[in-house]
Amino acid sequence: MEIWLVHIGELLPVDGPSRLFRYGILAEMLAERGHSVVRWAPTFVHAYKRQRARRDCTVAVSDLYRIELLYARGYSKNIGFGRLWFNRRVASAFRRRLKDESPPDIILSALPSPGMCRVAIEYAGCHNIPVVIDVRDLWPDIFLTVLPEWLRRLGEIALRPAFEVNRFIFREADAVTAVSSSYLDWGLRYAGRERRDTDAVFPLASLEESFSRERIDAERRFLQERGVAPGRFTCCFFGQFEASYDLETVIGAAERLERTHGGRFQFVLCGDGAKMPYLRHRAGGLSNVVMPGWVSPATIQALMEMSDAGLAAYVRNAPQSLPNKVFEYFSGGLPVLSSLRGELDRIISESGCGLSYEAGDAEGLASAVLKLHGDPELRRRMGENARRLFEERFSAGRVYSSMIDHLERLAGMRVAGH
């Protein structure tokens, strides 16, 4: 079959060495099964806030896999009107390009990017092909989470057209998939219907990459050159320094631990984003906070081998449910220290693979770190549980093989006239 993957936000093969995420993994696995894959994505790189190209262009990754880049001017902030305008521009570019395209057998279109989802559904309706809406983020509801309470009502009024678009795309979709149960329920509320057997949850599974011991040793030296000290109890983080991540509390915990325990602990925060200048200022003078910026997949593997715990540090009421980085920690056999409530909190509690603390509670996070440090057997057992959970439920091979099976079945149902 030919499948289109419509999405924004992920890094692409044209961006240089980087981790594969949901649609990158799906694209490669689909091509390995012999399917033809087209990824529709913007020229603008969400993570780095730069352009890949100044016009629409096509990138051939392999005989069965190509990327269609759609030019649209970018934005500077992840949450703001600039991003809303960007979504409209990239949707317009998508609609324009579809005039010259032959229809695929099925379309998987991701939210966020409601405009592109709407274009995909309208196009599919004209050609009698199925569309699956895949919920990656609670868009545009996430905008309301950053508004003070007294502005929420005004925000709801301003976003009413976006809510109407969501109602349309979920109502008209042939199926809804999502990265978690709560995200699926959110989409179905927009659709105004109960769950069907064509709807499914496929978590943001992590892909294990294999690097030579020589490469890992080189990355360890790279990390040490940037201040990561071997032998310290190390908590690591990989991600974007944006509004929903509570790295201020991590730095607060680091400050307390340095004051009470000297150089016994360290926090390595990898990534970048709008909060970086403020976080660097907050961490100024602390010897136990290291911020090396964006790092490669090999560096991530080396750092996880040097680490004792992974941080899932989110603000109170953060929209994330089951974020990708948690499964990456699981793959490395790391206990997780998490401030997320809901599904992740239940998984950690039921599986015994980490500890939870309250968002904003630096003392609580410091206590959790001390508990893991003071009980090596607990830490070993939690790490083993994390690794087992990854192998049984959250490996990319297992999750995305099932997702491809699901998509094949949906495409086959339309062919059979069901």
Q: Judge if the upstream peptide bond of residue 140 is cis by omega within 30 degrees of 0.
A: yes
Alpha-carbon distance of 118 to 168, in angstroms, equals: 8
To which H or E segment does residue 384 belong?
A: helix 376-389
The dihedral over CA atoms of 249, 250, 255, 260, expressed in degrees to the nearest 10, equals: 110
pLDDT value for 20: 85
d(CA 16, CA 374) in angstroms, rounded, equals 41
Structural domains of the chain ordered from first start = 2-205+396-415 (3.40.50.2000), 213-394 (3.40.50.2000)
pLDDT recorded at residue 155: 81
**Given this model, what pLDDT does residue 418 score?**
47
pLDDT at 368: 98
pLDDT score, position 125 = 94
- The confidence score (pLDDT) of residue 78 equals 74
One DSSP character per residue, 82-124 reads: HHHHHHHHHHHHHHHHHTT----SEEEEEES-HHHHHHHHHHH
Q: What is the pLDDT along the chain (418 residues), one digit of tens a residue?
A: 999 999 998 989 988 777 788 999 999 999 999 999 999 999 999 878 899 999 999 999 999 999 999 999 988 877 777 887 888 899 999 999 998 899 999 999 999 889 999 999 999 999 999 999 999 988 888 777 777 778 878 888 888 888 999 999 999 999 999 999 999 999 999 999 999 999 999 999 888 888 999 999 999 999 999 999 999 999 999 988 988 899 999 999 999 999 999 889 999 999 998 899 999 999 998 999 999 998 988 999 999 999 999 999 999 988 888 998 999 999 999 999 999 999 999 999 999 999 999 999 999 999 999 999 999 999 999 999 999 999 999 999 999 999 999 999 999 885 555 4
Q: What is the pTM of this model?
A: 0.86
Q: Is 308 helix (H, G, I), strand (E, B) or coil?
A: coil
According to the model, what pLDDT value does residue 317 have?
85
Structure tokens at 162: 């976006």
pLDDT of residue 414: 58
The Cα–Cα gap between 110 and 418 comes to: 24
Which of 114-143 are b and which e, b meaning 16 or more Cβ less than 10 Å from the residue's Cβ? Answer: bbbbbbbbebbeeeebbbbbbbbbbbbbbb
What pLDDT score was predicted for residue 110? 96
